[in-house]
Structure 1
Amino acid sequence: MKRAEKLTVIEDLANKFTTYDCFYVVDAMGLTVAQVNKFRKSCAEQKLLYQVAKNTFIQKALERSGKGETHAPFFSKVLSGFSGILFVSEKASTPARMLKDFWVAERLHRPLLKGASIYGDLFIGPAHLEALRNLKSKVELLGDIVALLQSPMANVMAALQSGERRLMGVVETLSKASL
């Protein structure tokens, strides 16, 4: 590969690292061609971008994207051997779920999760796969927060709408409590 081609690959990866806040690094070594094709098809169905790259290209691309300093532990522990990257734009748990489903379908434990970066937080090693599978999306978390904030207001509204007698009882109780 010529220098210009290498720089193009590194720039492309750097742009993806800048664009995507979540990515997984996996090791698909040992899969047959048919299994790799099924894996790529699964990625496409889940709207994941899968790219295989040299470890040095990945390191240089992360440095160019500005994530090099924060991902230093990631470099030393993860980027060795065969590395493929799964980029995800919407739900950070999608690649973890897809990996687990692929394992079940193919009856093997490949591709192996090497590590993941989820909104800047690092998860190193396959032991984190279950935790990554259970991550909620930003939309789900915001929904949970809104529900928690609406709960007290909903209780007040229910008390006010429950009838005049009950409302009068609440007003009387409040007036006695303030005296």
Structure 2
Amino acid sequence: MKKEDKNVIIKKIADTVKGYENFYLTDIATLDAAKTNNLRRECHKQDIKLMVVKNTLLRKALESLDGNYEELYPLLKGNTAIMFSNVPNAPAKLIDKYKSEKIPAFKGAYVQESFFIGDKYLKDLVSIKSKTELIGEIIALLQSPARNVISALQSGGNTLHGILKTLSEK
């Protein structure tokens, strides 16, 4: 491969890393063509971008970025595929779904500006909530007391209206 071609690929990988908040390093070497196509379809459905890369090109792309990704460098051995997503737990859920087949094999992840290296963190990554999920939960918690007060006032008003109506009829 020519140096110019490598530089184009490195820039493309670096731009993709910049474009997503989270990425997972996986190994999909043991997949045959049919299983790889199924995985790609599943990734596409969940807005996950799957990219198979050469380790040296990925390392150079990460080195060209502003952040410090040194913790991921030891994982860049063997075959490496990257799963990019703006939803922090989407790739983890997909990897966990196929955990029994150990495909894709989880190597590590960069999620919400933190590094997660090894299988022991996969369950934690599955349970991470996205920003929109957290905002939704906070809004629901804030609305709950207001709903209870409004409901109590409305039911009390109906009761009071019924009593007044009964008294007026007598």
- Does the TM-score normalized on the shorter chain lie above 0.5? yes
Paired position in structure 1 for 2:25: 25
Deviation of residue 45 (structure 1)?
A: 2.6
Cα separation, 1, equivalents of 2:28 and 2:125: 19
1:150 aligns with 2:150: no
Deviation of residue 119 (structure 1)?
A: 1.8
Paired position in structure 1 for 2:63: 63
Deviations 1:16-56 (A, max 9, x none): 11110011100112222332222222222322111111112
Q: Which runs of 5+ in 1 are unaligned?
A: 167-179
Cα separation, 2, equivalents of 1:103 and 1:160: 51
Q: Percent identity?
A: 37
| Root mean square deviation, CA, Å | 2.3
Paired position in structure 1 for 2:5: 5
CA contact (8 A) 1:15 1:65 kept: no
Matches within 5 A, 1:119-134: 119-134=112-127
Paired position in structure 2 for 1:137: 130
Q: Which amino acid aligns with 2:41?
A: K
Q: TM-score if structure 2 supplies the norm length?
A: 0.82
Cα separation, 2, equivalents of 1:152 and 1:43: 39
Paired position in structure 2 for 1:96: 92
Q: Which amino acid aligns with 1:87?
A: F
Aligned positions, number: 160
Q: TM-score if structure 1 supplies the norm length?
A: 0.78
Does the residue aligned with 2:16 lie in a helix, a strand or coil? helix
Paired position in structure 2 for 1:44: 44
Cα separation, 1, equivalents of 2:22 and 2:4: 28
Cα separation, 1, equivalents of 2:62 and 2:110: 11
Does the residue aligned with 1:80 lie in a helix, a strand or coil? coil
Q: Which amino acid aligns with 2:131?
A: K
Deviation of residue 157 (structure 1)?
A: 3.6
Deviation of residue 152 (structure 1)?
A: 3.6
